[in-house]
Amino acid sequence: MAKPKTEFSVNQTIVYPSQGVGKIIDVFKREFKGEMVYHYKIYIEVSDMNVIVPVDNAKLLGIRAIVSKAEAKKALESISDDYEPPTSDWKLRYQQNLDLLKKGTVGDIAAIVRCLYHRSKVKELPILERKLYENAKTLLENEIAEAYGITPKEVEVMLHAKLEPLGLKIEKKQTFTEDEDDEDEFEEDTSSSKDNDDDDED
């Protein structure tokens, strides 16, 4: 039986929000909830793992094609745009950025990087936010690299060139009213973060 027409094809590079840039390595049929349905097999390079996703669920999960070079450039340029500083309530800030990561547009990912870099220049980020920042930064670098046809390392240099002036600007103008919540939650996160250490093991 011929494979159905799908939004993504074998060998196409895609973005899987919260997971990273991946490549469709197969489209195949197998049982799902008692029915034989088609699935994507996606290789996620950053975590070196394969993910199986029902074709019909891909859109719900936010899986999308790599953006154009023009869209990637716009996201990169947005890093140095002026914007309102993030809230000092780390729980609220974390949830807002987590929601953006789940939406997964390249503009959303750039906004997370800008927000958390901005905050890190004012006060050290709690562990969960540091992980979120690193994940978003890696995803942004990898997608822009694909769109530009260059390496993630080259994009990292470009991103640093956008972030460094922002950091200097923030250090000169400390505008936050600090609270005590970050320190308490930072210590709590140190113990709870161990729960995620084995998530990628088969």
Q: What is the pLDDT of residue 189?
A: 45
**Stronger pLDDT, 9 or 171, i.e. the higher one:** 9
| pLDDT at residue 38, as a whole number | 95
pLDDT in tens, 30-43: 988 888 999 999 99
Task: Output the pLDDT for position 54.
Answer: 94
pLDDT value of residue 170: 57
Model confidence pLDDT, tens digit, residues 15-32: 998 899 999 999 999 988
Distance CA 48, CA 76 (A): 26
Q: CA 174, 137, 97, 64 torsion: positive or negative?
A: positive
Model pTM? 0.78
**pLDDT tens readout for residues 80-119:** 887 778 888 999 999 999 999 988 899 999 999 999 998 9
